[in-house]
Amino acid sequence: MPDLDRRLAKLLSLNEIRELAYKYAAAVESRDVDAMAKLFSPSARFGSYGDGPDGLRRLMVDSMTGSLFAVILVANHLVEFDDDVHARGQVWAHCYAQERTEGFLDQLIKYEDAYEQVDGRWLFVQRRHRLWYGAAHSRSPLDQNAADWPRNQIGVGDIPLADPEFAAWWQTRSKTEL
């Protein structure tokens, strides 16, 4: 029975670790820096921004200032355990983003992660963003009228238009560029 308990604990840990990547993507999509910071260990280091959740918070406030929206699709999440409280892994992600000044871009990213269990919770201790490519597009797919689904499936959907910050930007863009 102890072997079964250990295997079950490992499966639960694996699930919790994989959830970190999904929660990170959801926090980026909602521009919720506090939710993102809760995913990082106090021992995480962010260079001149500082350590732990507060360091991550400062880094992301700085890096997300120009973001209107970003959606990250997570795939191929592999995890290896070093021991019962340390693991490492890799996650592939495709990011679609609308920036205020840079326009629309997409990126293919490989995250190289390290995880540790702190007070019974798995957290990121390191998240290395490795860019495969980043592509800027000459025209944003958001530079069009609203889709008005289900009558029309072509156009900007209700998800970004429900965000007040995005909707304000879109109203300005749609008047000048359509």
pLDDT of residue 178: 46
Over residues 42-80, the pLDDT tens digits come to 999 999 999 999 999 999 988 888 889 899 999 999 999
pLDDT of residue 1: 58
Residues whose CB is less than 8 angstroms from the CB of residue 155 and which lie 6 or more positions away in sequence, other chains included? 144, 145, 146, 147, 148
Q: How far apart are CA 170 and CA 89, in angstroms?
A: 38
pLDDT of residue 65: 86
Q: How far apart are CA 124 and CA 113, in angstroms?
A: 7
Nearest to 26 by CA among 90, 94, 73, 65: 73
pLDDT of residue 175: 54
- For the chain, which ranges sit under pLDDT 50? 177-178
Question: The whole model's pTM is what?
Answer: 0.89
Burial of 37 (0-12, 13-18, 19+ CB in 10 A): buried
pLDDT of residue 42: 96
